[in-house]
Chain A
Amino acid sequence: MVQEQAQQKLSIQFEDIAQQNESYIVGMWTFLVTEIMFFGGLFATYLVYRVANQEVFWEAHRHLSIPLGFFNTCVLLTSSLTMALTVHYSQRGLRKQQLLWLLVTMALACTFLVVKGFEYHHKFVEGLIPGANFRFEPAEHMRVAQLFFSLYFAMTGLHALHVIIGVLVMTILAVLIAIKHPSVQDFIPIELTGLYWHFVDIVWIFLFPLLYLIPR
């Protein structure tokens, strides 16, 4: 197990491999901190409007499908597990298992996006896309309901964009692992992608109850 990591190349600016790895991981966390604040702004906006318009938000949220949201949460949680397994096998230097679990993670990410696409399509058919054609019953709640769906699309849309970027990064990694590229000899690229992927999962962990499970 340990010998696998001995292959890691030490860059000139680091004392040893441990320091080098720590720098990579802290660097990734620095990026994630900016991401936390990025999504945090949207969450704060959502909370302010939700508290001010609890009743209408409850009415509007009934147009979201809890079964689909629940299914997608399971898919993302499972993809986090498979990503963790990818890192595990990558640390042990087992290339085939690593590639297999990475592909499973990608498949789950795509499943999430497809389900999300169906949900968006359903909103489109129902006329719940904010804009000139927005329809909502009762009409006096239309403005606030539109606010809810604006926030819904902004938050889930930004999240979906992160899932798409995650799939792209995983695709590149999968190709590099498949051709035994030297840059993926050690586990760090997978570990950093994993950190990003688990962050995307955490965002959804909060989005699901906040958007889909509004109590009356």
Chain B
Amino acid sequence: MTNGHDTHSHIVPIKVYLLVYVALLVLLVATVGAAYLPGHHTLLNNVIALTIAVIKAVLVILYFMHVRYSTRLTWLWASAGFFWLLIMFILTLGDYFTRHWVPVLGWE
């Protein structure tokens, strides 16, 4: 070791991993619980389920995949992946969900 300091690999304490794990399990129970909410809340249920899934994914990426402790280049690479995914979703869903706005003869 030339630099004397542990700069290239941050060792995450086990306690942090366990806390993230507990948070993931709590969020999992919350997702299932939200699905059993009484009454008709299709949109609300979908929003809750997907929000919880995104929070879980971010927890896994930041702590289990160490992006929080990684270099800025890693951070940029990881976010670029999801940014590209977002472009794909916005373009695809923007097309399909707006087709009925302008009725076209012969297309239902």
Contacts and interface: CB of A to CB of B under 8 A. Distances in A.
Contacts of A83: 64
B108 to A, nearest CB: 11
Nearest to A30: B77
Interface in A31-87: 32-33, 36-37, 40-41, 43-44, 47-48, 51-52, 54, 66, 70, 73-74, 77-78, 80-81, 83-85, 87
Interface stretch (A118-126, A136-144, A193-201): A193-201
B50 A17 contact: no
A202 interface: yes
Contacts of B17: 81, 84-85, 88
A20 B80 CA distance: 21
Contacts of A216: 40, 42
Given A85-B14, A202-B61, A215-B46, A209 B53 contact: yes
Interface in B51-82: 52-53, 56-57, 60-61, 63-66, 70-71, 73-74, 77-78, 80-82
B32 A213 contact: yes
A51 B73 contact: no
Q: Chain B interface mostly helix, strand, loop or mixed?
A: helix
Interface string B1-22: 1110011110110100110110
Nearest to A48: B96
Interface residues of B, number: 55
B64 A84 contact: yes
Contact of A77 (B25, B71, B77): B25
A73 B28 contact: yes
A87 B69 CA distance: 14
Given A194-B65, A205-B56, 14 more contacts: A2-B6, A33-B84, A36-B81, A37-B88, A47-B89, A70-B32, A80-B24, A80-B60, A84-B12, A88-B12, A201-B60, A205-B60, A209-B31, A213-B49
18 contacts: A5-B1, A5-B8, A16-B2, A25-B70, A25-B71, A25-B74, A33-B84, A36-B82, A44-B89, A74-B28, A77-B24, A81-B20, A88-B12, A91-B9, A194-B64, A213-B31, A213-B32, A215-B35
